[in-house]
Structure 1
Amino acid sequence: MCNQTTTASILTSTQNSSQTHLYFHPGKHRHHHDHGAHHLCASISDIITEAKSLFNLAFPIALTGLILYSRSIISMLFLGHLGDIQLAAGSLAIAFANVTGYSVLSGLALDPNITRIGQRYLLFSLLDLFTNSFIHPIRIYLRAQGITHPLTLATLAATILHLPISFLLVSHFNLGVAGVAASASISNFFVLVSLVVHIWASGLHHPTWEKPTLECLTGWKPLLKLAAPSCVSVCLEWWWYEIMIVMCGLLVNPKAPVASMGILIQTTSLLYVFPSSLGFAVSTRVGNELGANRLNKARLSAVVAVFVSAMMGLSASTFASGMRNKWARMFTSDPEILRLTSIALPILGLCELGNCPQTVGCGVLRGSARPSTAANVNLGAFYLVGMPVAVGLGFYVGVGFSGVWLGLLSAQVCCAGLMLYVVGSTDWDLQAKRAQMLTCVDTTWLPHDFDNNSKGEEEQQPLICSVLTSAA
């Protein structure tokens, strides 16, 4: 979990669980000046210690992600078993569910058989949308306190149940794609119920719980100013992958491209588990160290994480290229789908060379409360660079399916370059001062021009500050 020297003074620990519960307490926060601020070169022991801290944070998150991925793989395997058109329809429906939450698949000039089956999949996925709207904030609530085991265990139990539920609904009751969607919804609902029951029964909510009052409806502006850009940043990148599936539905003979894209999205989802887990870990480490005014440790955490992410990118690229002729056979035996997948997998591997560092770089920006910067980078890279390249190569130059993936490659290269530039040019001293303001620390020591750069102290006051200080 979090480095003990970091959390000792700014975080309070409770003993309600076998894991350490970490939550911010303004009254106990003190300044911690980074005495090594002028020593820019970290020792080998410092690097190893930081790598261990990142691993301790990232490992349970990655484990949970892999468990979730295995559940998604089960659904895709059942879709492939039902048939190629069901695999294509399920892939398209999942894309629309991810992009919009729900959609009426009309007016898009797509294959009517694919959209008809996809619409049925979406109908039975509505419960999944509802449960995810609660699971995600609960997950972040637990992670912010350094608690990861409940989510991992609940996800593992749900995944174990997912296979027999899928078999029962798809094979025994012959519900087809509706059964695949319903089984996923039931599994996620089980996760939600398990988390709520565990939190309430074990008392994990006690350190941060306040009785609801009208005051809870105030002070949301600072929180939304951080949350909205962070949400937009994630959506801009995530939607691009789903838009790729929609573009494949507009190609000639769309069944094979859409089905192949669904398989490839599952592949990149597997590879994404590792850099995203590291991104969450470095976000926590950077945020904690900046909050403790240890800017050199925050810088070291960012550098170590980016280096590890580059190694992850090389490993992911090697895996994708090495599995090009084998991976798709788990899902289908259709020769055209196999051919398209084998062509695109090496391109996917090259994309991961950029995707891993940019994902971790985005985590650094989240940890330093700069989500709007990440959103701007994703907007420019994916939609001002990647989208025109994908549309041009895929539909106008005639490259087709591979052209769509080359568009993603151009976006990832651009995004990684911009993200690494932003992280590399970060003024860590300035970010440490911003962190003091965002965590309610007395800011009388800040330079006079800092408030001008911060667009006003009032707007910088966070929700956690107003709630906890008023409660005190």
Structure 2
Amino acid sequence: MVGAGILFYMRSLVSMVFLGRLGQLPLAGGSLALGFANITGYSVLSGLAGGMDPVCGQAFGAGRTDLVRAALRRTILLLLAASVPIGMLWVAMHRVLVSTGQDPDIAATAYAYILCCLPDLAVQCFLHPIRIYLRAQSVTLPLTYGAAAALLLHVPINFLLVNVLGLGIRGVALGGVWTNLNFLLFLVAYVYFRGMYGAHDGDGAKKGASEAPPIKEEGAEEWWSLVRLCVHSCMSVCLEWWWYEIMVLLCGVLIDPKAAVAAMGVLIQTTSLIYIFPHSLGCAVSTRVGHELGAGRPERARLVARVGLGLGAALGLVACAFAVSVRGVWARMFTTDEAILKLAAAALPLLGMAELGNCPQTAGCGVLRGSARPEKAARINVSAFYGVGMPVALALAFWPAGLDFRGMWGGMLAAQLVCAALMLRAVLCTNWAEQTERARQLTGGRGDGFDVAGIVDDDKRSHAEAAKAEIGNNLLMVADCV
């Protein structure tokens, strides 16, 4: 999962490099467009898709492969419905940005970028659920292979659209959409040709039928349970994600808006690279916690949670050291503008210190997600980012401190440290026996230590064991890197 995350980050890095080579205005406009798209679209779709994470993880642990497939179908339909109003908002983006006081030139450039990203909404509606569907079944290597194949095509696609066809910032946007579509097609082909959604899974479901009754395909209760988890997961993801992107928008009203917005885009790319490691760890923790709770093993779930928090804290130390060590050279990969370089160098140490809280809290969020408690994560994010981080950032950036760009990242530091403390308390105070019972009610599984391999044939049993070993090896690799 770390490998897939790094490969997909490199795809984003290539896009930022192409934007940077086009000049300061395209870089600022592209950064602003991505910020608007993340706030209003990508974060919403990603958050909604996260609602199927505990359902799939716990259902697979309980041997309910029929419920895993049903969650995939329902989540795709839910995301497609949510993408319609999102697309309408993107079409009206230019008026929104101008009315909020953004620089007219940056707003016009950002609008050209986001219009070309509209097809990506439909792609994401399928891409997010399929990735979760595979991960919940401990199938992670195809994600890495698919990301690698998409990345190999991404550079020539961007070169064709930007340099050969001369589409400029529109070419960069279309290149990102094209690459995401390629990734989706690779994953769909894998699922289809491996029979992960067809007759083989159907056989497994029939074998498990004696252990748990089949679900009602379109039952209102199942729909409501999934929608409730999706909405709470969306709130949890968006409240944190929006904070980063709100900072990009606020940079548009600082002293030097073009340099500030462009520098924030560079720093968002930096924190996105660092975030790959705790995010992958959090997803692995979420999947493993879901498996153990679905199988009725609360003590194993507790152990997974504690190991995840420990690795998260270690990753935070490494991330802080990395951000501080590259503060003088990192931004030069994106631009040679001295104003942007100066702002980025001043903020990187603050970014690194914020990761001391971000990494363990991300692992803790994976624990809450795997135990189907995204509403608790949402409450923590509201308290930390908007109850503490937002007032601190505004006070430091504008008045009374007047630290401008550095003040924004001072607010981020305060928010992440508070969030980590609250998340640690929530995980350590968890009643794991109670969460096991909740998992049994959610999935209709036995919840008495039922082994997931019991519902599949011999071939799939070997595949599941190999996949579990793969996850263990990945965690050891992360630990070795630390």
Partner AA of 1:157 in structure 2: A
CA 1:214–1:298 in structure 2 vs 1: closer, same or farther (change >3 Å)?
closer
Displacement, 1:188? Answer: 0.7
User: Are the equivalent residues in 1 in contact too, given 2:297–2:436 (CA < 8 A)?
Assistant: yes
Q: In the alignment, what sits opposite 1:261?
A: 264
Which structure dedicates a bigger proportion of its chain to helix? 2
Measure, in 2, the Cα distance between the counterparts of 1:371 and 1:163. Answer: 37
**Code of the aligned partner of 2:25:** I
The equivalent residue for 1:195 is: 187
Instruction: Give me the whole-angstrom Cα distance separating, in 1, the residues matched to 2:188 and 2:305.
Output: 34
Structure 2 length as normaliser, TM-score?
0.77
Give the aligned partner of residue 67 of structure 1. 7
Q: Deviations over 1:361-394 (max 9, x none)?
A: 0001111111100011011111111111112221
Alpha-carbon distance in structure 1 between the residues aligned to 2:136 and 2:267: 32
Other-structure match for 2:406: 402
Q: Specify the alignment match of 2:371 in structure 1.
A: 368
Pairs within 5 Å for 1:64-103: 64-101=4-41, 102=90, 103=93
- 5+ residue gaps in structure 1? 1-60, 445-472
- Indicate the percent of aligned positions where both proteins have the same amino acid: 52
| Residues 148 and 393 of structure 1: CA distance in aligned 2, closer, same or farther (over 3 Å) | same
Q: Are residues 183 and 73 of structure 1, via their aligned partners in 2, closer, same or farther at CA, if it must alter by over 3 Å?
A: same
1:214, CA displacement in angstroms? Answer: 9.5
Structure 1, residues 158-177: CA drift from partner, whole Å, max 9, x if none?
Answer: 11101011111111122111
Match of 1:216 in 2: 218
Residue by residue over 1:247-269, the C-alpha shift from the partner in whole angstroms, topping out at 9 and shown as x without a partner, is 00111220111000000000000
Q: Which has the higher contact order (CA 8 A, sep 6+)?
A: 2
Shift of 1:284: 1.3
* DSSP-derived class of the 2:100 partner: coil
1:421 to 425, 433, 436: 425
State the distance in 1 between where 2:283 and 2:30 align: 29
**1:305 equivalent in structure 2:** 308
For residue 109 of structure 2, what is the aligned residue in structure 1? 117
The one-letter code of the counterpart of 2:226 is L
Deviation at 1:80, TM superposition (A): 0.7
| Structure 2 unmatched ranges of 5 or more | 42-89, 206-214, 449-482
The one-letter code of the counterpart of 2:392 is V
Distance 1:418 1:248 in 2: 28
Pick aligned residue for 1:226 from 212, 229, 245 = 229
State which structure, 1 or 2, has the greater radius of gyration over its C-alpha atoms.
1
Question: In the aligned structure 2, how far is the partner of 1:202 from the partner of 1:443?
Answer: 29
Of 314, 317, 336, the residue aligned with 2:339 is 336
SS, match of residue 241 in structure 1: helix
> Distance in 2 between the 1:430 and 1:230 partners?
20
Q: 1:272 aligns with which of 249, 270, 275?
A: 275
TM-score (norm 1): 0.78
Alignment check: 8 A CA contact 2:295 2:447 kept: no
Query: Is 2:115 the counterpart of 1:126?
Result: no
Residue 143 of structure 1: how far off its partner (Å):
1.2
Would the alpha carbon gap of residues 244 and 225 (structure 1) be closer, same or farther in structure 2, given more than 3 Å must change? same
Aligned mate of 2:415, from 407, 411, 414: 411
Deviations 1:216-266 (A, max 9, x none): 263301111222111210111111111110000111220111000000000
Aligned-pair CA distance for 1:84: 1.3
Match of 1:457 in 2: none
In 1: Cα distance, 2:197 partner to 2:12 partner:
30
Mapped to 2, the partners of 1:315 and 1:342 lie a distance apart of: 18
Instruction: Indicate the SS of the match to 1:396.
Output: coil
Q: Write out aligned runs for 1:315-394 (5 A).
A: 315-394=318-397
CA distance in 2, matches of 1:189, 1:217: 32
User: Aligned residues, how many?
Assistant: 382
Structure 1 position 442, deviation (Å): 5.8
**Cα drift, residue 431 of structure 1:** 1.7
The counterpart of 2:287, out of the listed 276, 284, 288, is: 284
Give the superposed CA RMSD: 1.8
Q: Is the Cα contact below 8 Å between 2:6 and 2:273 reproduced in 1? A: yes
Offset from partner CA, 1:110-149 (integer Å, 9 cap, x none): 1111111110000111112221121001111111122122
Per mean C-alpha deviation after superposition, the further-off stretch among 294-303 and 358-367 is 294-303
Pick closer, same or farther for the CA change 1:443–1:335 going to 2, 3 Å.
closer
Match of 2:441 among 419, 422, 437: 437
Q: Does 1:237 align with 2:240?
A: yes
The one-letter code sitting in structure 1 at the alignment partner of 2:429 is S
Residue aligning to 2:85: none
Opposite residue 337 of structure 1, the aligned amino acid is I
Q: Distance in 2 between matches of 1:290 and 1:443?
A: 7
Instruction: Check the 8 A contact 2:4/2:144 in 1, yes or no.
Output: yes
* CA distance in 2: counterparts of 1:195 and 1:311, whole angstroms: 32
